[in-house]
Amino acid sequence: MSFINYSSREINCKIVYYGPGLCGKTTNLQYIYRRTNPEQKGKLISLATETERTLFFDFLPLALGDIKGFRIRFHLYTVPGQVFYAASRKLILKGVDGVVFVADSQIERMESNMESLDDLQINLAEQGYELEKLPFAIQYNKRDLSNIVPTEEMDRLLNNRNVPCFEGIATSGKGVFETLKSVARLVLFELKKHY
């Protein structure tokens, strides 16, 4: 649900990073925050527990530049990944324009990835969205670890629709901007279809 302001010539879009607990959603936002010019970003807000687990959401506003005289702003959110924060997770999806699913590449996390993807679809459906119709990109994170699943296998488990998909190492930034750019592109082209 974008906000198109003809008065201030701004377009605001909401992108949500989704995925199982500890998959690296917050790390993605932290990297984007570190690597963006000060004048292009707002504060990175993290509503987290004392042990730095996301409690409600992280929020990062980005104003990357102009297109056709309109300032394009992206509001990036993460959801809390832990299973028992289901109620909060649902709320963050309200008004979403695009979704990034961050998957944890470790063998033992495959089941959590699949559960989280199902959870995403269910929560979107509750808000009246269909994942199939939303701008959507996937990141296979933690590719630097040793006990990881091959990407072909992850494709089979998580990406049967063949949406844009990126290998990532969010701690060092690999794949982070590629993923964001890909979903941003889909969001803007989706808007183009309607306006």
- Which residues sit at the interface with another protein, rule CB under 8 A? 1-9, 11-12, 14, 42-43, 45, 47, 56-57, 59, 61, 64-65, 67-70, 72, 75, 87-88, 90-92, 94-95, 128-129, 133, 177, 180-181, 184-185, 188-195
Longest dimension (CA), the chain: 52
Give whichever of 5 and 147 is closer to another protein, judged by the CB atom.
5
Residue 113 three-state SS: helix
Instruction: Give the nearest distance from C-beta 139 to another protein in angstroms.
Output: 16
Our CB check for another protein shows the closer of 174 and 181 to be: 181
Instruction: Give the residue with the Cβ less far from another protein, 111 or 189.
Output: 189
- Please state the closest distance from residue 162 (CB atom) to another protein, in A: 19
Taking the least distance from each CB to another protein, the nearer of 1 and 83 is 1
Structure tokens at 168: 């990532």
Query: In the complex, what is the shortest distance from the CB of residue 179 to another protein, in angstroms, rounded to a whole number?
Result: 11
Running DSSP on this structure, what letter comes out for residue 82? S
Look at phi and psi of residue 76 and say left if phi exceeds 0, alpha if psi is from -120 to 50, else beta: beta
Return the number of the residue (133 or 161) whose C-beta is nearest another protein. 133
- Reference 172, options 8, 14, 24; nearest CA is 24
By beta-carbon proximity to another protein, the closer residue of 107 and 189 is 189
C-alpha 76, offset from chain centre? 7
Handedness of CA 100, 49, 95, 37 (dihedral sign): negative
Closest separation in Å from C-beta 147 to another protein: 32
- Helix or strand or coil: residue 51? coil
In the complex, least distance from residue 123 CB atom to another protein, rounded to whole angstroms = 12
Q: How far apart, in whole angstroms, are the C-alpha atoms of residue 140 and residue 55?
A: 23
> Measured from the CB of residue 2, what is the shortest distance to another protein in angstroms?
5
Among 99, 141, 135, residue whose Cα is nearest residue 117 = 99
